[in-house]
Structure 1
Amino acid sequence: MIYPFFSLAKTHRITPIDFRMNDVAIRVEAVAEHGMATIWDADVLIWAASQIVGARDAGLRTSRLMAARPREILTFAGRGTSARDYHRLKAALDRLQSTTIATSLRQISERRMHRFSWINEWTERADAHGNADGIDLIVPDWFYRAVLDDALVLTIDRQYFALTGGVERWLYRVVRKHAGRQSHGWRFEFRHLYAKSASLSPFKRFAFELRDIVRRQPLPGYRLLVECDGRGRELLAFAPVDLSTHACGQGVEANVLSGTEGHVPSGTGGTCYQEPKRPDSSSTSMTSGSPNSESNLYESNSSEVGCRRDGGKLQERAP
């Protein structure tokens, strides 16, 4: 969830992602005709994961070969079901199939790279009259084995599909992975997040987007703050929202296991989630302890990210 496997832009990207950190290496390549698979295309993979988990939990035999009607995938991801939406789904399947990944992730002990595409192949089914009747697709073994490993699967909030920005979708994945349900949350330095995103935007633009996300607080179930450390670097701090304090009744579980009845990955039924009060990033602090060591890997210029070394308020500037 936290590594750069997808393009965060809605525009056509063919520039490869070449990410290396410690023992993790990721290389993502696209073809010019279709472009790189985007983080919105990944909704198809979330749907696939929910189906595999649901079948396994029901005691059914699972398989890498999956069959569905386009409407099922589209409604699962909160999309429309018009002919235009169907054509967009087929374009997403083309990008997922043509994007290739080579990674050492989960292969470190074997000292080798695993190369695959997000979809090995997909087929459009037709009825006796030649009308589109469904889609068959085959997911790669790397993905399939990860879904069947409970330690590698996290639930997500249903409102994730309503996030419209690529950076905020990617950031939700990072926050969900690192903060989880830890009351003390987590911190990352802006430069570290920028490296992990593999964004093609200039760093100043990326930092501006992070501050705007903090201002809007769109991530379901979490609150965000911008903090400055003693060296003038901006840190993004985040922690789960305490749902039990909401006034709409008894506290409820916002996340549910993938593959539950009704084919939603999380957030089934009404929840008591309310958008948290927007904090004042210049005066509020989370009790998340010292910044994690990973957040200190990247040096940054305080004049670029807008922190003042004199302890003054954060100066937010558009790129």
Structure 2
Amino acid sequence: MSRRLITPSERSKLDPFVVVTGDASPRDQRDLMERPFFSLGKAKRTTPILYEAGGARVEVYAVPEHGMATIWDADVLIWAASQIVEAENLGFKTSRFLRFTPYQLLMAIGRQTGARDYKLLKGALARLQSTVIRTTIRQNEHWRRHQFSWINEWEECTTREGRVEGMEFVLPDWFYRGVIDRSLVLTIDPAYFRLTGGIERWLYRVARKHAGRQKQGWLFDIPHLHAKSGSLAKVADFAFDIRRIVLRQPLPGYRLRIERDGRRELLRILPARLSTGPVDGAVETLGTSGVTAIGTSGVALSGFRECRGQLTLWPETAIPGLNLESNQESNSSLLLGDVENISTRRQRKPDAVPESNASDTSFRKSGFTADNTSEASRLSFGPKPGGTK
């Protein structure tokens, strides 16, 4: 009889990055903003996403038990990226192995913190772990395809009464490398988490990535947008959803406008305000509102305090002190081959797009989907810290 080989957990090989605060500006990873990696509907999707443009290929596969990870589930990845970038900016050491409390995560992405929300979070983690991605993005000439899941493994820490006190998960190397490279990360408006529709959430990420803060914005052909979305809806139904979004103008920081070029229908995305950008001009002086001097209320002048190790929920893995020499951040633009602003090249013929009979438009206002979370429903749930069961 052969002996079964037990593979050790990946967590045993990584130093944990313990998240002790949820206060971090939300940031998104550029590759995830530009290409179709997630289902835009809350109904269980098992139909794969197959997308190729500009030499880059994306394939996303789901298992029938959980379905494909949704764009609401992607909030977990946005939160993780935000925490990693914030810690790196402050000089803390990070890793792919995150420890945190679910209360921190849910509060940061604008969700409720009741027992049902903890249950939905576990369903999201199950979908993120079971969804398989194959892509050629960011691969060199010798390695053509990378395969991974959004979360390699995850676990929760509970009390004897079933109360959830902490969680931990391991991110894939492909995603982590795309986050610590600051040129591949963009800040997003916190109001993004309040968008309720799958298409409008996806459209905001496209707007932030392509239109950015350009005065002329960005112009898209509707069939091209449909292909970039990975939507299962027909092109005509997708176009109808886009027109309804244009009427409502829900995207924070952007205005949408339908344009025509003969029989072609186009969507122009224009920046409305700089709600997520850095300060462009330097502050020259400290204003005093007419006061001739600034008092110190009898407090002696103090210097900067020594940066000590950060308090954590796991005392044996305290985060080391600050390294103030490595806190630079860059949001420099990358020119990617599968993106084209057709406002400057309108004579090109739009790509042909296959149609499907299913629709992924969602009108439910809750966060993570509760559909088909069979594994998550068998887990025990506890209240938020200080709350009730």
Q: Shorter-chain TM-score: what band?
A: 0.7 to 0.9
Deviation, 1:290, is: 2.8
- Find the counterpart in structure 2 of residue 271 from structure 1: none
Indicate yes or no: 2:246 matched with 1:224: no
Indicate yes or no: 2:183 matched with 1:187: no
CA distance in 2, matches of 1:175, 1:110: 33
- Find the counterpart in structure 2 of residue 140 from structure 1: 172
Q: String of CA shifts for 1:66-101, please: whole Å, max 9, x gaps.
A: 011111111111000000000000000000000000
CA distance in 2, matches of 1:69, 1:295: 50
Distance 1:83 1:199, change over 3 A: same
Amino acid paired to 2:100 = A
- Find the counterpart in structure 1 of residue 336 from structure 2: none
Distance 1:2 1:295, change over 3 A: farther
Indicate yes or no: 2:287 matched with 1:234: no
Q: String of CA shifts for 1:130-154, please: whole Å, max 9, x gaps.
A: 5321110000000000000111101
Q: String of CA shifts for 1:98-117, please: whole Å, max 9, x gaps.
A: 00000001115445100000
CA distance in 1, matches of 2:140, 2:56: 8
Task: Pick 1 or 2: higher relative contact order, CA cutoff 8 A, min separation 6.
Answer: 2
Deviation, 1:293, is: 6.4
Gaps of 5+ in 2: 1-32, 280-340, 354-389
Structure label with greater radius of gyration: 2
Distance 1:47 1:179, change over 3 A: same
Indicate yes or no: 2:206 matched with 1:174: yes
- In the TM superposition, what are the counterparts of 1:12-91 in structure 2 within 5 Å? 12-91=44-123
- Find the counterpart in structure 2 of residue 96 from structure 1: 128
2:276 to 231, 246, 254: 254
- Find the counterpart in structure 1 of residue 37 from structure 2: 5
Deviation, 1:118, is: 0.2
Gaps of 5+ in 1: 244-252, 258-287, 301-319
Percent identity for Structure 1 against Structure 2: 55
Using the size of structure 2 for normalisation, the TM-score is: 0.64
CA distance in 1, matches of 2:51, 2:121: 28
- Find the counterpart in structure 1 of residue 350 from structure 2: 297
CA distance in 2, matches of 1:185, 1:138: 37
Amino acid paired to 2:202 = W
Asked if the contact 1:30/1:100 (under 8 Å) is kept, the reply is: yes
CA distance in 1, matches of 2:191, 2:38: 20
Asked if the contact 1:226/1:236 (under 8 Å) is kept, the reply is: yes
CA RMSD of aligned residues (A): 2.0
Asked if the contact 1:155/1:256 (under 8 Å) is kept, the reply is: no
Greater helix share, structure number? 1
- Find the counterpart in structure 2 of residue 311 from structure 1: none
Aligned residues: 260
